[in-house]
Structure 1
Amino acid sequence: MGSVHSGEITVAYEDEGSGEPLVLIHGHPFNRSMWRPQIDHFSRAGWRVITPDLRGYGDSTVVPGKTPLETYVRDIAGLLDHLGIERFVLGGLSMGGQIVMEFHRLLPDRIRAVVLADTFAPADTDEGRAVRHRTAARLLRDGMDGYAREVLPKMISPGTIARQPAVAEHVLGMMRSTSPEGAAAALYGRAERPDYTGLLPRIAVPAWVVVGAEDAFTPVADARLIQESIPGASLTVVQDAGHMPNLEHPDVFNAGLARFLESLHETAS
């Protein structure tokens, strides 16, 4: 594990392997450990895999209040500057995918390709913003435990919970250990994010979209909208998986990501 000071905060991260950089951004309310199956696989397959903890999560500094997606982008860019990395493949799941879209909005020239996992592009509706605000207030008032247990069956599929208790414990543990202040700040900031649907047709780099077939938060229709809007994008639907196919079926997820990364080399040649 490494860490770097970025402005007023410290960003913790993993940096494993060597070769071309693959940067993976975790979702809410998780941390970089959600990418462990991908770190292990791709760091041995010729990629330098970098997985930061977003501010407010994991071992990074908690900053109460409101954290816009642009702030996460600036933190990540600062980390990559520190590591001397200019261009990279950038992937993210759920909120992490929205951070990828925000990164492309702000700093498109730094991105070689994008991976958008279990995410969605439109801005929140009025009701969606209200739900995020209510959830943030609940986390600040009551902590993470009740919320984590309540949403676990949506984060991963019921089948995963039954067949893979270790995965369920990992996901539950990530959520329960997250700072309520950090999670609430993300919810308040995310409620104000822009609508990225107009951005998607302007993404001119290769894109892989992936989603769990049983995702209750960002269903297949959301992924299909993204895939159909980005020129040349491909879509993989992972069967028997919910919102976290990278953990629920890592072999399937890794195989799809490997094919996508190999296609980048074919395009370059």
Structure 2
Amino acid sequence: MDQPRPTILFVHGYLESSEIWNEFVQELPDTYQVLRPNLPGYGPEPGRVGDYSLEAAADFLRQQLTEAGVGRVLLVGHSMGGYVSLAFAEKYPGLVAGLCLFHSSSLPDADEDRERRTRNSAFIEEHGVAAFADEFLKPQLSAAHRESMEHHVEQLKRIAAAVPQETALGSLDAIAQRPDRRDVLEKATYPVLFIAGKDDRAVPPEKTHEESLLPDHCMVLWLARVGHLGFLERPDATRRAVEGFAELVFKQ
């Protein structure tokens, strides 16, 4: 009987969808099973969502694994997807083989962050998600790439514009209310990988450095001239990092 393939679960971020991983996962070896669900309220069939909390999203991921017949998994979470992955790891630590925080953090929002999210919510309520995406997305890239990667920005704007306003607002509130989950990293019995952009304004390098000291087994990929979208800005380097991390995780 064939052994089940090790599974990598890719979790998208705020105003994104599973589509962001399309090109990224194409060159991963077929020795891995790749899952990349749309979080509740996202994707081509968002449906209605009663609970936008990160914890509810973690339960959704658990359901996806159950339906796929998957046990332990390597979680790769981009930005908000990392927050969901941390919530999953807190609730279901025995199912986590490894954790990759891809431009993400276990730290809660500071007061100024919550104030900014309140302003963003008000903007979305008044002007809509598409208008917010026009303002929100381009600064996520390193200044080194903002002109040359305009086509990628347009792709992300298209994905973001399809997100229902209710989802955009519910997710923003969930992000703002997330707890401090540094203890998840401190208690981790599995390897942790941070992928960090040196030009990331959303998750500054000093945050990543502080958190990287918490797990027993942790690695950090620092990327120059990369902002918050390393899977687009440096796809080859970040894919190699995830693939190498997966080899480590599943050979233990």
TM-score by length of 1: 0.86
Query: Hey, what does 2:111 align to over in structure 1?
Result: 126
SS at match of 1:162: coil
Deviates more, 1:106-115 or 1:213-222: 213-222
| TM-fit CA distance, 1:239 | 2.0
The reply to whether residue 216 of structure 1 matches residue 208 of structure 2 is no
* RMSD value, Cα: 1.8
Contact 1:64 1:185 in 2 (8 A): no
Contact 1:69 1:189 in 2 (8 A): yes
Residues 113-156 of structure 1: per-residue CA shift (max 9 Å, x gap): 11111112222233322332332232133211221111223222
Take 2:208 and 2:30, find their aligned partners in 1: how far apart are those partners? Answer: 27
Residues 4-23 of structure 1: per-residue CA shift (max 9 Å, x gap): xxxxxxxxxxxxxx821100
Question: What are the equivalent positions in structure 2 for 1:96-245 lying under 5 Å apart?
Answer: 96-245=81-230
Runs (5+) with no aligned partner, structure 2 = none
| TM-fit CA distance, 1:265 | 4.2
Take 1:250 and 1:137, find their aligned partners in 2: how far apart are those partners? Answer: 34
Take 1:57 and 1:213, find their aligned partners in 2: how far apart are those partners? Answer: 29
| TM-fit CA distance, 1:60 | 4.2
Matched pairs, number: 249
Q: Which amino acid aligns with 1:192?
A: Q
Take 2:110 and 2:204, find their aligned partners in 1: how far apart are those partners? Answer: 17
Runs (5+) with no aligned partner, structure 1 = 1-17
Residues 17-70 of structure 1: per-residue CA shift (max 9 Å, x gap): x8211001001011111112222122x442111001111111243446761100
Query: Hey, what does 1:33 align to over in structure 2?
Result: 19
Deviates more, 1:251-260 or 1:165-174: 165-174
Take 1:265 and 1:21, find their aligned partners in 2: how far apart are those partners? Answer: 9
Take 1:120 and 1:170, find their aligned partners in 2: how far apart are those partners? Answer: 25
Take 1:105 and 1:64, find their aligned partners in 2: how far apart are those partners? Answer: 22
SS at match of 1:163: coil
TM-score by length of 2: 0.92
Contact 1:212 1:237 in 2 (8 A): yes
* Cα pair distance change 1:82/1:64, threshold 3 Å: closer
Take 1:85 and 1:102, find their aligned partners in 2: how far apart are those partners? Answer: 18
Deviates more, 1:185-194 or 1:60-69: 60-69
Question: What are the equivalent positions in structure 2 for 1:30-109 lying under 5 Å apart?
Answer: 30-42=16-28, 44-63=29-48, 67-109=52-94
| TM-fit CA distance, 1:177 | 2.2
